Structure 1
Amino acid sequence: MRIDRIRLFEVSLPLRRSFETSSHRKSAITHALVEATSADGAVGWGEIATPQDPFFGAETTGTAWLVAPEFLAPAVLDREWAHPEELEAAWAKVRGHEFAKAGFVGAAWDLFAQYQGRSLASVLGGTREVVQAGVSLGIEPSIDALLEQVQRQLDAGYSRVKLKIAPGWDLEPVTAVRAAHPHLDLHVDANGAYDWSDEVAELFERLDASALTMIEQPFGVRDFLAHQQLQRRIATPICLDESVVQLDDLETMVRLDAGRILNVKVSRMGGLTQARRAHDRASELGVPVWCGGMHEFGIGRAANVAVSSLPNFSLPSDVSGSDKYYEEDIIQPTVAAHGGTVAVPNVPGLGYEVRADRITELANRVWDSAAARVPEAEEV
């Protein structure tokens, strides 16, 4: 197999409702999409689901737009390969930029699955026909508004709700939601907003009484020791997200008992290959995993659904229906949730039709390897 052409599209979609985390509020999402065309005309798609701002991590839409054309696309164009891992080896010298890499990896896996005549979930090793979906709710203007949103998601069939928390928006809203829904599968996500102190530890000890499924990433990305100290003081499992990028980070988490659940974000870990490896190693270590989201459009969301079908994804994943976030997606049919579950496609490739015409229409900017190539000067 060989990729002859790569196009990148920067696309923005407005959110149905603005979404606030501990770092910022957003009303629209801008991602880059990777279209990889093979020598015989097959097309694979991937999504670079970077945030626009460097708050979740160092990568942004802008950094991806620099790295992808200059370093990643040249590494894979015109290279013969039989498996996506061979393409990934081509950029082994490029450090970091996991989100950008994930977009190319996704396109390669889509092509690979098409050539195998199998679904993306199948070639990854998925075993489920449906996956459990959860929803993530941002910081709301008031507790009443939060309770309204929780009820709306429960009415839509979702059985797991994740609440974003931050200093000043933590104990009171969580306690209110738990009081209103005593048996709800509820967990909280701080996105590393807290610094270790006895006062903060006491706050989480009080949250411990809310019977949460997990407390996700309370402290900074590299602060494994703070997570370890907190885990010693509370019964609720700590889940790490931003802290685990490589498999070595997972080993550190387990050795220190700094977390007992892993959020596998495909983009954060550099793509589907690494996400599958993390799933496999976590399974060996007895660590349950679930798939987190980055407000992906349909292409990235479809990849998340596929990887969530692997057997150790034993907790509901952030693969809620596209309609929760967007009026109109870039795939058809859209990812849809019914009764809190999402069906895993069983057709070859990604499992959804990518609306290339809509992507072209929406694109803020486009990069095309065919146009970027400059013929060598003729000898005279």
Structure 2
Amino acid sequence: MPRVRELEVFRLVLPYGARSESLLVKLTDHGGMTGWGEAVSPEPKAWSRLEESLAALLIGVDWEHPDAVPSGDRAVDMACWDLWTRMRGVPLAHAIGGTRTSVMATVRLAPDPSVESLVARVNQQVCAGYGHVTLDIRPGWDVEPVRAVRQAYPALTLAVDGGNAYTDRGQLVALDSYGLEVIERPFPLGDVHAHAALQDEVTASVAVEVRSTAELDDYLTLRAAKVLLLRPTAFPSLSEARRAHDRAAAAGWDIQCAGGQGAGLARAATVAVASLPGCTLPCDVTQPPKQNQIVTPLVGANAGVVAVPLTQPGLGHTIDETRLARLAKESFHA
């Protein structure tokens, strides 16, 4: 039974790409075992809440399972899972019900200055071993780039991500003629009826991203999609993410895991969830640059395949604490 004797919290501003922020939590039990968790782009008050309440919540308190720790914080939940599974000597992927030893990956490509340069970037990724490509699209950058990529690669498995930016489904319906596998996040969050109308008109599967099982139930009721874009770190706990997986899989939906941001721990949790049996589509752990990561081994794809750590307990990665100390802008210890 874990009993935390000390904890540390770090605020990181990652120096590459969009300079995203992460909160890292380190828990150490009385036997010296550690568990780590990460919250990517945390809520504005997350730091002060952890500083004020985390010690009283965890230090010296016995708990039998991560679900018994009512923290309401994603980083704390992940750290509890990591500690709990390390103490038992089992990989996190197995502990939550994962069955895969590796998962296929998609590579995500942002809008490009020109269609020609986009096709060249797709070529680079295909040559690197990716058989699945996701193109970020926006109104005004959609039909032409998709047409060009499809003409250059007739057999490539292709998805698009609308970034919740569309209000009209006309252009999205036009894309359906290019043999897309998935149209991700076409409309603003919560517009269930717009997603349902689009799914009725296209043969591609519409993918929706939710942050709770209650939101998912709204889409399931109206059959407003066929794919759940499951971002584990967007849920309050890994158990809640698992419940969303179970509901979507029971409804016959495909599931794609996503979570490429952060310092590596959140990516590792994404890979663990992607090993669940219902996660049938390639996962997305490709952004931002790998230099952001402070974990060993790095989390990412090799020739379009991501390994699921099964020889090490917990998340399956170690922390480069020297690099962590360089990136940490604030920290506290209790």
**Mapped pair 1:353 → 2:321:** no
Provide the residue aligned with 2:289 in structure 1: 325
Aligned 8 A contact 2:107 2:125 in 1: yes
* Deviation digits for residues 60-89 of structure 1 (CA, Å, limit 9, x no counterpart): 4x34323333355543343211111101xx
Matched, 1:291 2:257: yes
User: How far apart in 2 are the matches of 1:189 and 1:64?
Assistant: 29
Given that 2:160 and 2:182 are in contact with CA atoms closer than 8 Å, whether structure 1 keeps it comes out as yes
Report the equivalent of 1:211.
179
Runs of at least 5 residues in structure 1 that lack an aligned partner in the other structure: 19-25, 51-58, 95-100, 371-380
Aligned to 1:40: 31
Equivalent in 302, 307, 328 of residue 268 of structure 2: 302
Aligned to 1:159: 131
Partner of 2:98: 126
Shifted more, 158-167 versus 69-78: the winner is: 69-78
CA distance in 2, matches of 1:138, 1:327: 19
Q: Please give the secondary structure, in 2, of the residue aligned with 1:118.
A: coil
What letter is aligned with 1:256? L
Q: 1:67 to 1:211 in 2, by over 3 A?
A: farther
Query: SS state of the match for residue 187, structure 1?
Result: strand
The equivalent residue for 1:54 is none
Where 1:147 maps in the other structure, the secondary structure is helix
How far apart, in 1, do the equivalents of 2:23 and 2:113 lie?
A: 31
Identity %: 37
Paired position in structure 1 for 2:306:
342
What is the rounded CA distance, in whole Å, between the counterparts of 2:158 and 2:55 in structure 1? 41
Question: Which whole-Å CA distance do the structure 1 matches of 2:58 and 2:67 have between them?
Answer: 11
Please tell me the residue identity of whatever aligns with 1:69.
E
- Number of aligned residues: 332
> Structure 1 366/293 Cα, relative in aligned 2: closer, same or farther at 3 Å?
same
1:225 paired to 2:211: no
Taking the aligned partners of 1:6 and 1:319, their CA distance within structure 2 comes to: 28
Q: How does 1:1-380 map to 2 (within 5 A)?
A: 1-15=2-16, 18=17, 26=18, 28-50=19-41, 60=43, 62-71=44-53, 74-87=56-69, 90-91=70-71, 101-195=73-167, 200-241=168-209, 244-320=210-286, 325-327=289-291, 329-346=293-310, 347-368=312-333, 370=334
- Kept after mapping to 2: 8 A contact 1:299/1:331: yes
Q: C-alpha displacement at 1:110, in angstroms?
A: 0.5
Alpha-carbon offset, residue 46 of structure 1: 0.9
Q: CA RMSD in A?
A: 1.9
Report the secondary structure of 1:337's partner residue: coil
Contact 2:82/2:314 (<8 A) preserved: yes
Question: Quick one: which amino acid aligns to residue 25 of structure 2?
Answer: V
The whole-number CA distance in structure 1 between the counterparts of 2:111 and 2:5 is 45
- Distance in 2, matches of 1:83 and 1:11, equals 28
Could you tell me whether the CA contact under 8 Å between 1:266 and 1:272 is conserved in 2?
A: yes
- Quick one: structure 1 residues 66 and 163, their matched pair in 2 at CA, closer, same or farther if it must change by over 3 Å? farther
SS of 1:168's equivalent in the other structure is coil
Q: Secondary structure at the match of 2:14?
A: strand
Q: Distance in 2 between matches of 1:210 and 1:252?
A: 29
CA change 1:150–1:71 in 2 (3 A) is farther
Q: Residues 66, 138 of structure 1: CA spacing in aligned structure 2 closer, same or farther, 3 A cutoff?
A: farther
Counterpart Cα distance in 2 of 1:364 and 1:307 = 30
Output the CA distance in 2 between the equivalents of 1:40 and 1:85.
21
1:112 positional shift: 1.0
Aligned residue identity for 2:215: D
Letter in 1 for 2:157: D
1:48 Cα deviation from its structure 2 partner = 0.6
* Structure 1 residue 145 displacement after superposition: 2.4
Preserved CA contact (<8 Å) 1:102 1:266: no
In structure 2, distance between residues paired with 1:186 and 1:179: 12
Corresponding residue of 1:97? none
CA contact (8 A) 1:13 1:326 kept: no
**Structure 1's 335 and 168: CA in aligned 2 closer, same or farther, altered over 3 A?**
same
Instruction: Give CA-to-partner distance per residue, 1:192-241, whole Å, 9 cap, x none.
Output: 1112xxxx222111011111111111111111111112222222111001
Contact 2:21 2:262 in 1 (8 A): no
